[in-house]
């Protein structure tokens, strides 16, 4: 059985290439049909803000790529409730349908995967 990987994306979307490189890692795993989950934590939840205009910074649309995750077989998407709340993001306004988890849920998520990469 394939080993599962949890990718924790905790960088804001426009602070450099790191958010995109976390996403690329998830997409590459999905393309190989591997069991991949993606968790948005800390500033990473800002990737889920609606109405972003990356063109203003001459950047590609990260949000559009995030929305393509299910097409690449990455359907296990999570966000940290504490990170959302402390950053003023309401759960019903997010760019993607994600499962929002409290600390116990986050611990279970981590336990349930064979490996984890926190970027």
Partner 1 sequence: MATLHLLSHSPFSDERFASCLRLLGERDGLLLSGDAVHALQPGTAPRDALERLPASVALLVLEDDLNARGLSDRQPARARVIDYPGFVDACLQYAKVNSWL
Partner 2 sequence: MKFAIALFAAPHSPASRRALRFAEAVLAGGHEIVRVFLYQDGVHSASANAVAPQDERDITADWQRFVERHGLDGVVCIAAALRRGVLDTDEARRYGRPAANLAPGWQLSGLGQLHEAVQTADRLVCFGGP
Where does this chain bind partner 2 (CB under 8 A)? Answer: 2-3, 5, 17-18, 21, 24-25, 28-29, 31-32, 34, 114-115, 117-119
Considering the complex, what minimum distance in angstroms separates the CB of residue 83 from partner 1? 8
Q: Which of residues 11-40 bind partner 1 (CB under 8 A)?
A: none
Q: Is 10 in the site for partner 1 (CB under 8 A)?
A: yes
Interatomic CA distance for residues 96 and 20, integer angstroms:
16
Cβ-based burial of 56 (10 A; exposed 0-12, middle 13-18, buried ≥19)? exposed
Residue 87 binding partner per list partner 2, partner 1, none, with a CB distance cut-off of 5 to 8 Å that depends on partner kind: none
User: CA separation (Å) from 8 to 59, 91, 97?
Assistant: 22, 18, 16
Between CA 81 and CA 101 the distance in angstroms is 6
3 state DSSP class of 7:
strand
- Which residue, 97 or 104, is less far from partner 1 as judged by CB? 104
Contact of residue 17 among partner 2, partner 1, none (CB under 5-8 Å per partner type): partner 2
Query: Can you give the binding site for partner 1, defined by CB under 8 A?
Result: 8, 10, 41-43, 82-83, 103, 106-107, 110-119
């Amino acid at each position: 059985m394939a080993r599962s990987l949890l990718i924790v994306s905790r960088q804001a979307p426009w602070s450099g290439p790191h958010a995109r490189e976390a996403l690329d890692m998830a997409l590459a795993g999905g393309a190989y049909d591997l069991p991949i989950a993606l968790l948005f934590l800390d500033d990473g939840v800002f990737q889920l803000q609606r109405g972003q205009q990356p063109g203003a910074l001459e950047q590609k649309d990260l949000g559009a790529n995030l929305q393509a995750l299910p097409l690449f077989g990455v359907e296990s998407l999570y966000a940290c409730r504490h990170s959302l709340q402390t950053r003023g993001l309401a759960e019903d306004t997010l760019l993607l349908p994600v499962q929002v988890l409290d600390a116990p849920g986050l611990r279970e998520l981590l336990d349930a995967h064979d490996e984890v990469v926190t970027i």
